[in-house]
């Protein structure tokens, strides 16, 4: 999952995507997580760490989109779209090979 964002100046290219990673939760108190900004080629052009506590932690619940909107607000970014992870590929069925006959 990542958020597509309005381009923002970064070096060497503008940032166009926001990623959240390494979420650490202290139940009933706070959470800390990393964020990265990436350019159109996927190269990291910015990063940092944020902490959720108090009302912000309580508002998070189980909605991970909240981490993106919280981070975008904290960094002054505008989210265009939150892009979910691709669903897992269906399992590949192995062909059934008949056992050789001993006749």
> What is the average pLDDT across 61-88?
92
Is 93 part of any domain? no
Element (H, E) at 6: strand 2-8
Note down the domain range covering 64: 2-83
Q: What are phi and psi of 37, to 5 degrees?
A: -105, 140
Q: What is the mean pLDDT of the chain?
A: 91
Is 11 part of any domain? yes
Residue 103: pLDDT band by 50, 70, 90 thresholds? low
Alpha helices in 1-103 (DSSP H): 54-60, 65-75
Is 59 part of any domain? yes
> What is the average pLDDT across 60-89?
92
Is 64 part of any domain? yes
Is 91 part of any domain? no
Is 39 part of any domain? yes
Is 102 part of any domain? no
Q: How many domains does the chain have?
A: 1
pLDDT (tens digit per residue) in 23-62: 999 887 899 999 999 999 999 999 999 999 999 998 998 7
Is 101 part of any domain? no
């Amino acid at each position: 999952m990542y958020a597509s964002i309005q381009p923002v100046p970064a070096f060497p290219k503008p940032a166009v995507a926001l990623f959240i990673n390494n979420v650490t939760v202290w139940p009933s108190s706070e959470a800390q997580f990393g964020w990265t900004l990436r350019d159109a080629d996927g190269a990291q052009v910015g990063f940092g760490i944020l902490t959720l506590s108090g009302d912000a932690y309580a508002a998070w619940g189980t909605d991970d989109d909240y981490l993106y909107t919280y981070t975008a607000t904290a960094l002054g970014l505008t989210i265009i779209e939150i892009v979910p992870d691709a669903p897992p590929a269906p399992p590949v069925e192995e062909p059934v090979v008949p056992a050789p006959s001993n006749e």
